[in-house]
Amino acid sequence: GDSVTQMEGPVTLSEEAFLTINCTYTATGYPSLFWYVQYPGEGLQLLLKATKADDKGSNKGFEATYRKETTSFHLEKGSVQVSDSAVYFCALSGTNNNAGNMLTFGGGTRLMVKP
Amino acid sequence: DAGITQSPRYKITETGRQVTLMCHQTWSHSYMFWYRQDLGHGLRLIYYSAAADITDKGEVPDGYVVSRSKTENFPLTLESATRSQTSVYFCASSEASTGGKAFFGQGTRLTVV
């Protein structure tokens, strides 16, 4: 079945540092790929998405490129802020037409940014 | 208020008791989902529903029951709670056309003692 693997955390960075959180996936067909973010005490919210190979999703300074050849969707940000401290989840949507909206999540990566 | 709301936010129950977690969305989204979040496992799908009166199992359905008599509500029932069901539960909804863009509730933290 489909699966998502992302780097374990926590990731601790200083403010303005460069961020990379690795994500790789296994899926049949052509899934859409997502990054969700969870701030403390809240539910998940969509950060960015990409629906086909070589698409780049971007939002709030975060970027991720859908790399079909390496089955990866790594999250990057050039300069993190304290307010970016959260848990980040990589996910893919179901490739089964009967559950095309079903998301499979990675284990999550906690990011802590220090001033 | 528009959105997706879960209740209660926190619940402590005893082993063997039945407990129901509520989820309500105001967008009339077709799809609704229940996930549980545990350390080391990320989010795992318990059940989902593609429309009213249509439900299907996810990855970890054992010990749970769902129903969807109305589009906007998707309650999750633990028939006989066990300590292994201590977790944070998230409800989510999405529209069929968005292919995975889901909106999440704030979660219910359930402790089974």
Residues of A in contact with B58 (CB under 8 A): 102
Number of alpha carbons in the 13 Å side-chain half-sphere of residue A58: 7
- pLDDT value, residue A68: 93
Nearest CA in chain A to B5: A43
Asked if A96 is an interface residue toward chain B (Cβ–Cβ < 8 A), one would say no
How confident is the model over A12-60, as pLDDT tens digits?
A: 999 999 999 999 999 987 889 999 999 988 889 999 999 999 999 999 9
Give the containing element (helix H, strand E) for B10: strand B10-13
Residue A97 has pLDDT above 60, yes or no: no
- Given an 8 Å threshold on Cβ–Cβ distance, is B102 in contact with A100? no
Tokens (6 digits) for A105: 């999540």
Query: Which of B59, B37, B55, B56 shows the shortest CA–CA distance to B46?
Result: B59
